Chains A and B, each alone.
Chain A
């Protein structure tokens, strides 16, 4: 008999637990949910992200590229990794100044791993959404914007459309029906990488990005920070 059958056999021969109840997860969240309207959700998200040393900027659909390029200039970034044929990536590429090298993630990682690890300062990706409660950005990497874009470069810049901010993790996965089909990799990201493994002292920039920059984009005219 295989290991599988033996393990399952032992589990099946154990007594049944008749005292279990079916957990009412939706009910619990419905009773404990805050941040109802968009303004509150944006404020909550911003507060949670800033608490973990994330730079947050309010932008509009008109000014986000110039705000981003301002950040690039302030941080003296020399390269920006963008996705393959993404409208937001190309919008930045079109206005990129002479000193900024635009790199597109066009090839499989095997072809250019050394360059990605050692020769890229920053990356730009679009978030699928966010969770106001915990300050998490939702990323579902795609062939156009692969997984390592949000992990390897030192500075990770995320463009987030305000209307995609959900109250919490449960609200996001149920309203978008994630259970119907999960992507290869789904991520929640809250802040730059960090560790407290040395004497409980918090240090940023462990293995992933040292800095996380979030541009919260609103369609209507807002006030840029």
Chain B
């Protein structure tokens, strides 16, 4: 069964990163997968004008939805309630799990079958259910594989992206009774299908995420290819959907552009096999579908991001994963190195709100600021600007205006602060600059040979024997 995702990026981030970088097989997996996903996405957007105008539209829809968020959440609640879907609000993971557990206990559920839901990973859903003696079984093929391996997903769209078919063949041979080793992908998928069909049939509750919630009609939209999402939301007698409060849009017509951007950016598909729109529990006369449908709306730090207009842009995210697919850092270190539910660039900018900057600030520094993420983001989140903002927040002096987040100032140290204030003085006063650069060039022999991370793979930095101003002077003297 899945273990709790280790959330302590500060202490372990470097260690985990080093571990992956020293694993050539895993680096090759990620590189191959990223090249594949980048090419698939590129092929979906042959028309640059269409891409840019659609991104602008997507950005407008998400920004408009956020600007009206409290009103739209109330409208969503009213529409869903009128449709017979029960709405619950949770401020944090504990509240979300308690709501689900209360429902499970009331309907005497023993087994929960899960469709893909990153929010359920965020709240540690499986662990909370297990602790209460309820089985929570993953049904997305990738999620099933990582659960079987006792791991966490390493990518938000393709959870088992770090595993080769050989890894999965060995895993199935060891963990699935009666299965012998096969590297044939079709055969492996059919093994998963057989195991999980039984799980769908015997589950009491189906759990799913939500891709878009529509306020005007009270509709929960889910996209998927496998059909497990439809199974989870149709076969068990109770369906619980869990989502962040930011996923709402006002109108049904806002759905087509968002889904088009989502599927093309995520997996390079013009549409997924299934778009599943759920508006009601089973109605009188209907012969299948759940008798009860619940929606859990989760805050978990999202209101902190919402409180600041710049950081609010983070909440436009539609969870396509394109930013991680194009990130040079993610491609090298993979998803597990981040140590958070959401890895990659989006993980670096959303995790500080969910978990606090104290434990997550190193993620904002794990970026080259190359801007690939912001360039491909289908809803135009200015990811690099937000990374810089979070770096500043991490260094902010506590109890000042600059420190606005939970954990602001966590990276601040006396040594660094002193260095930067000296640097600031030197670079803003010409006399001081002249003097300092004179000492630097004359004292270059004293440059340390060990310059920390820099000299691990590079020659030491040594100041030039002559300053620019000295060279200019020599040049003028020669004339």
Contacts and interface: CB of A to CB of B under 8 A. Distances in A.
Nearest to A172: B256
A8 B74 contact: yes
Question: Interface size class for chain B?
Answer: 35 or more
A173 B163 CA distance: 40
A26 B254 CA distance: 10
Interface string B108-124: 00000000000000000
Chain B interface, DSSP helix/strand/loop, else mixed: helix
Contacts of A28: 53-54, 57, 257
A22 B64 contact: yes
A116 to B, nearest CB: 9
A205 B193 contact: yes
A26 B257 CA distance: 10
Contacts of B226: 193-195, 197, 206-208
B185 interface: yes
B301 to A, nearest CB: 11
B60 A197 contact: no
Contacts of A13: 307
Contacts of B32: 200
Contact of A197 (B36, B95, B141, B227): B141
A143 B285 contact: yes
Interface in A100-154: 105, 107-109, 113-114, 117, 131, 133-136, 143, 146-148, 151
Contact of B190 (A29, A199, A205): A205
Contacts of A52: 273
A194 B225 CA distance: 5
Interface string B211-250: 0000011110000011110110011000000000100000
A195 B143 CA distance: 12
B286 A21 contact: no
Contacts of A183: 279-280
Interface in B138-190: 139-142, 145, 158-161, 163-165, 168, 185-186, 188-190
Contact of A134 (B186, B190, B270): B270
* Chain A CB within 10 A, most for which of B33, B273, B278, B306: B273
Interface stretch (A91-99, A174-182, A217-225): A174-182
B254 A23 contact: yes
Nearest to A194: B225
A138 B33 CA distance: 32
A183 B283 CA distance: 10
B225 A195 contact: yes
A203 B309 CA distance: 44
A169 B89 contact: no
Contacts of A6: 91
A190 B273 CA distance: 4
A18 B242 CA distance: 30
Interface residues of A, number: 79
B249 to A, nearest CB: 9
Contacts of A203: 185-186, 188-189
Given A187-B276, A198-B141, A207-B197, A108 B287 contact: yes
Nearest to A29: B256
B67 interface: yes
Contact of A196 (B190, B201, B267): B267
A181 B67 CA distance: 26
Contacts of B57: 23-25, 28
A188 B197 contact: no
B412 interface: no
B193 A14 contact: no
Contacts of A147: 230, 234, 288-289
A205 B186 CA distance: 9
Interface in B189-203: 189-190, 192-193, 196-197, 200-201
Interface string A1-37: 0111011101111111101111111101101100000
A197 B142 contact: yes
A190 B287 contact: no
A11 B286 contact: no
8 contacts: A11-B245, A31-B53, A146-B286, A169-B255, A169-B260, A179-B251, A190-B274, A194-B273
Given A7-B297, A133-B270, 19 more contacts: A3-B89, A10-B307, A14-B312, A28-B53, A108-B288, A146-B289, A170-B257, A173-B256, A184-B278, A187-B277, A197-B141, A198-B163, A199-B164, A200-B32, A207-B231, A208-B226, A208-B230, A208-B273, A208-B274
Interface of A: 2-4, 6-8, 10-17, 19-26, 28-29, 31-32, 48, 52, 105, 107-109, 113-114, 117, 131, 133-136, 143, 146-148, 151, 168-170, 173-174, 178-179, 181-201, 203, 205-209
